[in-house]
Structure 1
């Protein structure tokens, strides 16, 4: 029979070398045992994670903490990242308490990314309510729409970037309310499910407020895209959107798409800078078409080819 070692009974001077030889994931797992273990870990081993990601799957939840290490070599200093995975299984804490405990011991105040990968068996929305600063939210296919909608309602006010597979909202009014949120980046992979609750319209894009909006599988009718540009020329709504991009599978005739826009072609190197520092600091292009709105606002349309997909980018200059 193995006798448990009374680690917590050791004097602090004896505990220091023990904690210094522990791997970061061992320190984190130790701190989940109790409040006393958490306080002891904070005193004896200072961890500093560069980022923490939360992954929610069908029957598991885990955090991936990234640590950056510096190793002195004969000629230089090498920097290498190491990710430690911490599972929520059998820790005796609620999801919210578990996240808070890991953030506390790793000195990481916010989550870099939350990944929703499948219908969770554990009720996560209460945990979501405790999160107050998330850089990126990724919603993968397979999540129930009701769960996605609730997660978006809770997390979009505290998230900078959202990537989602499809539109989960019941009607256009709910979708437009979501589009008006002040995100830095919004990416929607599929704007029309097999049985859509409502038909996505390019007019929805006119009121979108993210700085960058990306439709990976957008509407494919050239007539609708042309009408969007015509409506933008006549519209003076005060949207934050600075860059709109979409992929189109239809064969795009540039003359038809630019019809009645009074577009002016150019061939020169240009760099578009966003008004706010985001993961996309700038965009560079060397050809396209300029258009001008009735209130003097200028925009540029560019085209890119990656058969069988045609990419259309719309940049709105400050």
Structure 2
């Protein structure tokens, strides 16, 4: 019969090399045992070198995925209806850890403490959770991408935007949770690095070219949101004259109706891409999507700043991309 080793009875100097040799999954599991083990893991464990940490919030479960720089990712599932255990998947094996009476928020606090990761790659809200999501969102550090799905409730989506927008680089919205035009405008006029809106009816907020001109986003994608060519021409003209969003570096929108280059480019003094210029532009990996475009033009602002307008066709839709070159 083996006698348990009294690890916690060791002096601090003896504990240091033990914790330094722990794999990241062991350090996380150890931190969940008690407050004392959590504090020791936080202080003594070597920093976990992670590629990313993602959080997915669903109806009855919160999932955290930790992907170390070297090694297999760990996914932990915190189920609200099974409070005695935490399930996980690591190296294609299912694991279970006993819950020492912790709430989901406390699990998260310990996980973030021991990983010491300064930000999450993604927080995705998907569904109508039956647990206190807001208490969890309050402890989330910086977030690279906040993703709100269609089946997220308006109340949860608005609160998440309120809490996380100040610490989020990119916001992806598959629904706009605002009750009226005033709420939408307050959100729209915020400073945000990247905003992507997909498959939502902006017309109910009387969205028009003036909203586009007033946006403070650095990167703006209006996917499945159509704009007329005349409105886009006005937007590009304002950019050339420095009377629109000067922070803008990228815009993607749909063309409304039949596509006509002459209407879009009227008065812009645009220069059509040559074959060499097309290859040069593609080699910069400018766009994450719509990489196969059918035509492109350079336009130059009055201060000399260069931008490119390109077109991409998929089925019956033409996408228009605008990218300001460094």
Pairwise TM-score range, normalised by the shorter structure: 0.7 to 0.9
Against the structure 1 CA distance between its residues 109 and 259, is the aligned structure 2 distance closer, same or farther, given a 3 Å change threshold?
A: closer
- After TM superposition, list the pairs within 5 Å mapping 1:79-228 onto structure 2: 81-89=71-79, 90=83, 91=99, 92-192=101-201, 197-228=204-235
**Matched residue, 2:88:** none
Classify 1:251/1:24 alpha carbon distance in 2 versus 1 (closer, same or farther; 3 Å). Answer: same
Provide the secondary structure at the position in 2 that maps to 1:206: helix
Secondary structure at 2:163 match in 1: helix
Paired residues in the alignment total 298
Question: What residue number does 2:270 align with?
Answer: 263
Tell me which residue corresponds to 1:246: 253
Aligned partner of 1:38 in structure 2 is: 38
Q: Is the 8 A contact 1:134 1:158 kept in 2?
A: yes
TM-score, normalised on structure 1? 0.77
CA distance in structure 1 between the partners assigned to 2:67 and 2:245 by the alignment: 39
Q: Distance in 1 between matches of 2:2 and 2:217?
A: 56
Q: CA deviation at 1:187?
A: 1.2
Q: How much does 1:33 deviate?
A: 2.4
Deviation, 1:166, is: 2.4
C-alpha change, 1:4 and 1:221, in structure 2 (3 Å) is farther
Paired residues of 1:189 and 1:216 also in contact (CA < 8 A): yes
* CA deviation map 1:198-257 (0-9, x unaligned): 232232121222211111112153344334334545661453111111234744222232
- Is the Cα contact below 8 Å between 1:49 and 1:65 reproduced in 2? no
TM-score, L = length of structure 2: 0.75
Q: 1:295 to 1:171 in 2, by over 3 A?
A: farther
Q: 2-side partners of 1:310 and 1:243: how far apart? A: 17
Cα distance per residue 1:235-283 (max 9 Å; x no partner) = 6145311111123474422223223444332322455999xxx997xx9
Matches within 5 A, 1:11-50: 11-12=9-10, 24-42=24-42, 46=46, 48-50=48-50
Is the Cα contact below 8 Å between 2:239 and 2:246 reproduced in 1? no
**Equivalent residues of 2:125, 2:147 under 8 A apart:** yes
Query: Partner of 2:273: helix, strand, or coil?
Result: strand
| Structure-2 residue corresponding to 1:72 | none
Shift of 1:170: 2.5
Per-residue deviation, residues 67-109 of structure 1 (Å, max 9, x unmatched): 132xxxxxxxxxxx41111233424334433222112212323
5+ residue gaps, structure 1: 70-80
Residues 273 and 296 in structure 2, CA contact (< 8 A), matched pair in contact too: yes
